[in-house]
Structure 1
Amino acid sequence: MTAGTPSSRRRRRTGRGVLTTTGLYAAVVVAALLFLVPFYLIVRNALSTDAEITGENWQFLPTHLQWGNVSELFDDTTVEFGRSLWNSLVVAVLMTFGILLVCSLAGYGLARIPYRHADKVFYLVLATLMVPTAVTFVPSFVLVSSLGWVDTYRGLIVPGLFSGFTCFLFRQYFLGFPAELEEAARVDGLSHWGAYWRIVVPNSLNFFAAIATITFISGWNAFLWPLVIGQDPSAWTVQVALSSYMTNQTVNYHLIFMATAVSILPLVLVFLFLQRWLVQGIARTGIKG
């Protein structure tokens, strides 16, 4: 039996390549559709009545889009949803900037400043990752309460201004940062702070943007700590306000879905704007697998 001609082998390889590419595109399309299903349900139910949401006859879209649900959401006097959006924005933004500053300085110090106990300090930071949040929750609340920070932005923000995992990510990144740039800065007379602020930070904006995206999303989605600290409705964040639409007596389905749609919109915009930096930044941390 003779081997196939070069042209026939090329055709077979081309055919296999087309099938592989088609299969990959099909898998991506299926995954994208599955990913978009929850968003469709949120938008569809947000513009429906409670009867259309819970009814037996399912429709792809409601017969009449209930745009009045938007005004009902913000006009509800029992839940200051607009105020809760503002609270979440303030908490998420200030927490993001605070964590970027504190954890990047800590990570830079552990990676670059010579100190004989630097490894021990780093191991202590890693040890905090092994402590369950539930263990520190009550002591943190007692401390915040004793300081009079209940129902304040300080109580919502300050306890979360340090993250051991974020510090670890910054240290890993700075270990891979070109030391030659910092050495040149030191020759020019810059201190460690000067090298950090004028050399390292401007050349690490992609990584900072990635950490900022993750931190902002985490701060926006926080629920348990704001639920305990924000006892007055004026101090509620958006996640706490969402939970108030579901009680033991009633469930306002259309308001829950409308509030959900409004609350995820800032996260979608942030993610779409910063997704390129998010992927690049995580890829540069040195973490594999």
Structure 2
Amino acid sequence: MKTNRPPRPATGAPRPAVRAPRPPARGLRPAVRGLSIGLLTLLFLAPFYLMLRNALMESAALTSPEWTWWPDVMRWENFTALFDDPALHMGQALGNSLLIAGITAPVSTLLASAAGYALARIEVPGRGVVLALVVATLMIPGSATFLPTFVVVGSMGGVNTLWGLIVPGLFNPFAVLLFRNFYLRLPREIEEAGRLDGLGRLGLYGRIALPTSGAMLASLGALSFIESWNAFLWPLVIGQDPSAWTAQIALSTFLTSQTINLPGLFAGAVVTIAPLVAMFLIAQRYIVEGIATSGLKG
């Protein structure tokens, strides 16, 4: 039985014209990208501009309804008054913050590196339990452990001492997990070659594993420095005496007086945030590289 098939089109018949897609405008995308980056840059720099502008103004000009983009007369004495005021203890507070952050950042980073290497490479009974406990500490809010930590530190005489401000910040479970995942990716062949050269477990860590994690050490060290420098609640409770004040606590004394010296407050903010800006500008490449190479798998 024959079926009726539709006739085939002639070979020479013209095909329907298909309109080619229009190429995207080449000049539009870079312009939009540049405009977006410019707007984001302005939004990022606006607080720093306002902070520096207000720090160099007089109190009367700062509270005036008339807007000025920049003070006609820059009052640099607002900065010197910070260190001349005996009630602020700003010089000693900055030194305490620098000492606390300068000790906490490298020590906590090295401890996290060693703990992460142990969890990644040393096979001992109970390693999974220890890893679960480290993860569990990330789920516990800091407010739940704040009071017990204060009781323990206070019973050991840590109130109004620098070690009472430093020791509780030495354990960083998030950094431990990052280092563990980083060392899990380290090829075991490198360590096997080290064993052939007579290296023990400590030598493998110190001469092979640790040098390969330079970007991680720099990035997490910078983040730890920033976190320690910005700490407020714990130094407020522990550092009750002016001799144990940090820069953040000294800056908060502006808000406890009946009349607020706004130019002095902004000048203190500039002095307090300047080390963090310098730290970030120096270590920003290592921060991005360290977080990118660490990963959260493993």
Q: TM-score range by the shorter chain?
A: over 0.9
Aligned to 2:105: 96
1:80 CA drift (Å): 0.8
1:58 aligned to which of 67, 82, 88: 67
Aligned partner letter, 2:146: F
Aligned partner letter, 1:48: M
1:171 CA drift (Å): 0.8
Aligned to 1:270: 279
| Deviation digits for residues 231-281 of structure 1 (CA, Å, limit 9, x no counterpart) | 111110001111001125121111110011011111111111111111000
State percent identity of aligned pairs. 46
How is 1:171-186 mapped onto 2 (pairs within 5 angstroms)?
A: 171-186=180-195
Aligned partner letter, 2:233: L
Note the aligned Cα RMSD (angstroms). Answer: 1.6
Q: Is residue 229 of structure 2 the alignment partner of residue 224 of structure 1?
A: no
Q: Is residue 158 of structure 2 the alignment partner of residue 149 of structure 1?
A: yes
Q: Is residue 214 of structure 2 the alignment partner of residue 205 of structure 1?
A: yes
- Give me the whole-angstrom Cα distance separating, in 2, the residues matched to 1:99 and 1:31: 34
2:53 aligned to which of 36, 44, 47: 44
- Give me the whole-angstrom Cα distance separating, in 2, the residues matched to 1:80 and 1:233: 7
- Give me the whole-angstrom Cα distance separating, in 1, the residues matched to 2:19 and 2:220: 55
What is the TM-score normalised by the length of structure 1? 0.93
In structure 1, stretches of 5+ residues that fail to align are: none
Deviates further, 95-104 or 215-224: 95-104
How is 1:63-212 mapped onto 2 (pairs within 5 angstroms)?
A: 63-212=72-221
| Deviation digits for residues 115-157 of structure 1 (CA, Å, limit 9, x no counterpart) | 2321121011100111111111111111111111111111000
| Deviation digits for residues 167-188 of structure 1 (CA, Å, limit 9, x no counterpart) | 1111111111222211211221
Bigger helix share: 1
Aligned length: 282
1:3 CA drift (Å): 6.0
- Larger Rg belongs to: 2
- Give me the whole-angstrom Cα distance separating, in 2, the residues matched to 1:273 and 1:178: 30
